[in-house]
Amino acid sequence: MSSILRQRLEALGRRASAAFMIVFADGSEYRNRPEPPTFILRFRNRGAERRALLFGHVGMLDAYFAGTLDVDGDFNALFRIGMESGYDRQPNPLIRLRNHWHEWRHSNRTIARAKANARFHYGLGTDFYRLWLDDPLMMYTCAYWKDGTRTLEEAQRNKVEHVCRKIRLQPDETVIDIGCGFGGFLFHAVEHYAARATGLNTTTEQVDAVRDMVRARRLTDRISLREADFREVDRQYDKVVSIGVLEHAGRDQLRQVVQAHADFLKPGGLGMLHFIGHVGVRDTELYIRDYVFPGGWIPSLAEALTAMEASGLEVLDVENLRRHYALTLDVWAERFERRWPEIHAIDPRRFDERFRRIWRTYLISCAEMFRSPASSTCLFQVLFSKGNVSADGYPMSRAFLYSAGEAA
């Protein structure tokens, strides 16, 4: 069995653009090149090798999370080489089977299951996220690195400003942020555009945190919070946004979440879908679903646009911010690594070594995924209207987005 695994890894080594080394459980070694390796993989036992043989790159990550496979050296290079060689895209019926099993166990068909899935990730606590997200918006979504941007804080302000401009937000207009996170968009919309904002969120911990922030900023007359699922539509708004929610609705809930955007929006209103999407239809990465985002599913851009058309929404603009997400994840990963001792100290039992391995893998591998020339995963901002927009309902060019006065 180990000889088969060795053959597969040697084939990867011949395609790789950088040197690496593998130490197998029996102590034998493999080097794909004579120069010093950028990283070293160390299999600690036969079980780790069996996982890698049966489940490919997912099995290797299973073993790494379990502590039976270690990685020394450049962690980014490990994922860069895996992606450029196609090792992460090799057909594997066992992975497909595990993906179907995950869907059966964690599907978001019910509101209760969707809430539990969301809390698994987003309910880790404000103290945890505050250590590595931007301050003060705490935006946990792709930032916007326009020319001259130097920090994550600037890039996240750019992003919420970009969204506000795209939907032409005006004073006293009502806007709902579906899946509002820690409220960064809500605060920007109120403080910079004098809008009346509502945040919808199913994660109890985040809703409580945002309510505290709203009270502290004395904005209770401008910002309201609803702890509810996106399917629980209660009224219509002048504008609708969701920033990083569509991919969490679930594989079989795409039409429902898009229809909810339409149902929340007044006729003639404008909205924005900001989401991770594939080019082409493919399965969502299994380890992300198993360890990070249970129930999550990344749709293709085409599937999302088809669902929007079926919901009576006109697509006005599509922007791909894939490269921006790589830069955002780079900063998150660096801050997570640097501040790990503080994260661990919050709750040593919850934030243990296994958690650290899972999360550094998630952040770094996603950065390399969005950077990779071989990637078909992107970050889309889709601007839409409810019904066909009138001649005077939206500018005839994008010039207004980049005019003087854009937030720094």
The three-state DSSP-derived secondary structure of the chain is CHHHHHHHHHHHHHHCCCCEEEECCCCCEEECCCCCCCEEEEECCHHHHHHHHHHHHHHHHHHHHHCCEEEEECHHHHHHHHHHHCHHHCCCHHHHHHHHHHHHHHCCCCHHHHHHHHHHHHCCCHHHHHCCCCCCCCCCCCCCCCCCCCCHHHHHHHHHHHHHHHCCCCCCCEEEEECCCCCHHHHHHHHHHCCEEEEEECCHHHHHHHHHHHHHCCCCCCEEEEECCCCCCCCCEEEEEEECCHHHCCHHHHHHHHHHHHHHEEEEEEEEEEEEEECCCCCCCHHHHHHCCCCCCCCEHHHHHHHHHHCCEEEEEEEECHHHHHHHHHHHHHHHHHCHHHHHHHCCCCCCHHHHHHHHHHHHHHHHHHHCCCCCEEEEEEEEEECCCCCCCCCCCCHHHHCCCCCC
**Domain 2-90: assigned CATH number:** 3.30.1050.10
Which two structure tokens, joined as six digits, stand for 349?
């039992």
Tens-place pLDDT, residues 135-191: 999 999 999 999 999 999 999 999 999 999 999 999 999 999 999 999 999 999 999
Rounded mean pLDDT of 52-66?
A: 96
Please pick, among 142, 164, 180, 366, the residue that the annotation labels catalytic.
366
Count of residues for the chain? 408
Model confidence at 401: pLDDT above 60? yes
pLDDT for position 1: 55
pLDDT for position 143: 98
Rounded mean pLDDT of 335-339?
A: 98
Backbone angles phi, psi at 85, to 5 degrees: -85, -10
Rounded mean pLDDT of 96-109?
A: 91
Alpha-carbon distance values, 128 to 229, 230, 298, 330, 339 (Å) = 24, 25, 25, 18, 10
Task: Considering only the C-alpha atoms of the chain, give the largest distance between any 2 of them, rounded to a whole number of Å.
Answer: 72
Model confidence at 89: pLDDT above 90? no
Strand order through the sheet with 29-31: 29-31, 20-23, 39-43, 69-73
Rounded mean pLDDT of 308-330?
A: 97
Lowest-pLDDT range of 71-75, 113-117, 158-162, 280-284: 280-284
pLDDT for position 251: 85
Model confidence at 46: pLDDT above 90? yes
Model confidence at 408: pLDDT above 50? no
Tens-place pLDDT, residues 260-289: 999 999 999 999 999 999 999 888 899 999
pTM of the model: 0.95
**Domain 108-402: assigned CATH number:** 3.40.50.150
Domain extent listing, the chain: 2-90, 108-402
Percent of the chain with pLDDT over 70: 99
Model confidence at 404: pLDDT above 80? no
pLDDT for position 392: 83
Percent of the chain with pLDDT over 90: 86
Does 366 qualify as catalytic in the annotation?
yes
Tens-place pLDDT, residues 354-383: 999 999 999 999 999 999 998 899 999 999
Rounded mean pLDDT of 97-103?
A: 91
At residue 312 the predicted structure's pLDDT band, cuts being 50, 70 and 90, is: very high
- Average pLDDT of every residue of the chain: 94
Cβ burial, residue 267 (10 Å; 0-12/13-18/19+): exposed
At residue 407 the predicted structure's pLDDT band, cuts being 50, 70 and 90, is: very low
Cis? peptide before 136, omega within 30° of 0: yes
Model confidence at 254: pLDDT above 50? yes
Tens-place pLDDT, residues 341-350: 999 999 999 9
Model confidence at 406: pLDDT above 50? no
Please state, in angstroms and rounded to a whole number, the distance separating the CA atoms of residues 142 and 159: 8
